[in-house]
Amino acid sequence: MLRNAIARRRKAPSFTERHSGIWRCLFDMLMFIIRTFEITNRLGIHARVAAKLVETANHFKAEVSLEKDGVEVNGRSILSILALYCPQGSRLTICTEGVDAQEAMAAFALLIADKFGET
């Protein structure tokens, strides 16, 4: 009886219990969000706006890419963003991938909804 109680107490943790931290880490790494926005500010994406996009991307660990008309660029490169040529009315797709992808996408959505702080 005592032997059975000790054996139950020393029961090895399950695979999930032993590796729950690893699984959580893998899940976080697999976070992938894609969202398309319409650029509504009057001047579209110009140098100041591109700088704000890069500044926002640099606040997060997530990888950020922007895509317009089949051309995909790194969201941390001002020149690449400017090369997309996004005037008013353009549709810009933003992809965030990584541990804080949701927070990054929320920040981009807020920035674009606010028209990049311009009137």
* Model confidence pLDDT, tens digit, residues 1-35: 444 444 444 555 544 454 444 445 555 556 889 99
**Does residue 11 sit within a domain?**
no
**Does residue 65 sit within a domain?**
yes
31, 44, 46, 73: the catalytic one is: 46
* Model confidence pLDDT, tens digit, residues 31-88: 889 999 999 999 999 999 999 999 999 999 999 999 999 999 999 999 999 999 999 9
**Does residue 68 sit within a domain?**
yes
Q: How many domains does the chain have?
A: 1
Q: Is 46 a catalytic residue?
A: yes
**Does residue 20 sit within a domain?**
no
| HEC secondary structure over 57-108 | HHCCCCEEEEEECCEEEECCCHHHHHHCCCCCCCEEEEEEECCCHHHHHHHH
Confidence of residue 118 (pLDDT cuts 50, 70, 90): confident
Mean pLDDT of the chain: 83
Question: What is the domain extent for residue 111?
Answer: 31-117
Judge whether residue 94 has pLDDT over 70.
yes
Amino acid at 85: Y
Residue 56: CATH number of its domain: 3.30.1340.10
Which residue do the tokens 């959580």 mark? 24
**Does residue 106 sit within a domain?**
yes
**Does residue 107 sit within a domain?**
yes
Both tokens of residue 22? 């690893």
Residue 65 and residue 93: Cα distance in Å, rounded? 8
**Does residue 15 sit within a domain?**
no
Judge whether residue 115 has pLDDT over 80.
yes
